[in-house]
Amino acid sequence: MIRVLIADDQDLIRAGFCAIVETQPDMTVVGEVGDGQAAVDAARSSTPDVVLMDIRMPGIDGISATEKVTALDPQPRVLVLTTFDHDDYVFGALKAGASGFLLKNAPRDQLLMAIRTVAAGEALLAPAVTRRIIEAYVATHRPTAPAPALDQLSARERDVLTELAKGQSNAEIGKQLYLSEATVKTHVASLLSKLGLRDRAQAIVYAYESGFTRLGTAPPSDHL
């Protein structure tokens, strides 16, 4: 059973999300709150698997609340929901630890798929959105030297990280690198462990912040 906490400052939005979630046999709502601090408190007390987090809320905003929620133990997954399709919101949410980003006007089935995706430990970020936030990040940040932790990666893991940073799914990475989806999944799990990252969303941020990947280029790899 996927335990869901809903954080949004609009009563009707919360009610709508609750109604959708409660129709599912594998989901249950464990709480609903209207501000960022209440979201943090509720996440601590109700131990949800997934938090649906609005960006703009009174008190601390959704990005700050996400950072606090993802620091809890056990650690909930956060799916950010907003009406604002802004690159700075997306990147800020990912840096704060969110595992996914979805607009509030997304179809019902897409919302449910998103909840199940992040609950399963995957990130939810479309390649088109990934490229936009990468472009926005590169335009405002100077590239840094690659982090020492990257030296721990095998050549194949570096190849996988390169594709992962583009927002590719395991199936798409496998097709690009001529690997099975299961093998890609193993490589992703290994590189996340070596780099101390929680999920694919963090890996995307890490790849660009560390200078490993830059827009329009590929990092060097020993694989032939």
Q: What is the pLDDT of residues 92-135, one digit of tens each?
A: 787 788 888 888 888 899 899 999 988 988 777 655 566 666 66
Tell me the average pLDDT across 150-167.
90
Digit-coded pLDDT (tens) for 2-29: 999 999 999 999 999 999 999 999 999 9
| SS3 (DSSP) at 63 | helix
Digit-coded pLDDT (tens) for 178-221: 999 999 999 999 999 999 888 887 888 788 778 787 654 444 44
Cα-flanking dihedrals φ and ψ of residue 177, to 5°? Answer: -105, 5
According to the model, what pLDDT value does residue 219 have?
43
According to the model, what pLDDT value does residue 199 have?
80
- State pTM to two decimals: 0.73
- Intrachain domains 2-124 and 137-209 with the same fold: no
Report whether CATH 2.40.40.20 matches the domain 2-124: no
pLDDT over 70 percentage in the chain:
83
Distance CA 106, CA 115 (A): 12
According to the model, what pLDDT value does residue 132 have?
63
Domain limits, the chain = 2-124, 137-209
Distance of CA 88 to CAs 7, 52, 95, 105, 133, Å? 20, 19, 10, 19, 7
Pick the closest to residue 219 from 173, 163, 180 (CA basis): 163
According to the model, what pLDDT value does residue 156 have?
96
137-209 — its CATH code? 1.10.10.10
